[in-house]
Homo-oligomer: A and B are copies of this chain.
Amino acid sequence: MYFTGPAKSPLSVVTYSDSKLVEKFLNRGSKSVADAVRPILEDMDVRGFDALVDYSKKFDSFELNTGSIRIAMDEIQRQAATLKNEQKKAIEFAYNSTMEVQQEIAKSCQSVEVNSDFGCTKQVPVPIERVGFYVPGGLAPLPSSLLMAGTSARAAGVKDIVFCTPPRKEGINPATAYIMLKLKVNEAFWLGGVAAIWLMTNGISSICKPVDKICGPGNAYVAEAKSQVAQTGKVGIDMIAGPSEVLVLADDSANPEFIAADLLAQAEHGLDSSAVLVTDSEKLALAVQTDVGSQLAKMKRGKEIATSLENCGGIFVVGDLLNDGVDIANRFAAEHLELFCKKETEAAILKKMPIAGAVFVRTGEAFADYGMTGGNHILPTKRTARFSSGLSARDFLVWQYIEELTDDGQKKLAEMAGTFADMESLEAHANAARKRDR
Q: B-contacting residues of A (Cβ < 8 Å)?
A: 86-87, 89-91, 93-94, 97, 100-101, 104-105, 108, 110, 112-114, 116, 118-119, 121, 123-124, 126, 128-129, 139-144, 175, 212-213, 227, 231, 233-236, 240, 242, 257-258, 261-262, 264-265, 267-268, 295, 299-301, 305, 350, 353, 355-376, 379, 382-390, 392, 394, 398-405, 407, 410, 413, 415-417, 419-421, 423-433, 435-436
Task: State in angstroms the CA–CA spacing of A227 and B227 once bound together.
Answer: 11
Task: State in angstroms the CA–CA spacing of A405 and B431 once bound together.
Answer: 61
B-side contacts of A141, CB under 8 Å? 424
Q: Which of B90, B240, B265, B426 contacts A416 (CB 8 A)?
A: B90
B-side contacts of A427, CB under 8 Å? 268, 299-301
* Chain B residue nearest in CB terms to A119: B373
Please tell me if the beta carbons of B268 and A428 are within 8 angstroms of each other in the complex. yes
Please tell me if the beta carbons of B265 and A426 are within 8 angstroms of each other in the complex. yes
Q: A416-B93, A432-B265 are in contact. Are A213 and B390 (CB under 8 A)?
A: no
Please tell me if the beta carbons of B370 and A421 are within 8 angstroms of each other in the complex. yes
Q: A416-B93, A435-B261 are in contact. Are A143 and B401 (CB under 8 A)?
A: no
Q: Which of B105, B128, B404 contacts A361 (CB 8 A)?
A: B404
Q: Which of B119, B175, B361 contacts A402 (CB 8 A)?
A: B361
Q: Which of B267, B390, B428 contacts A265 (CB 8 A)?
A: B428
A100, chain B: closest CB distance, angstroms: 6
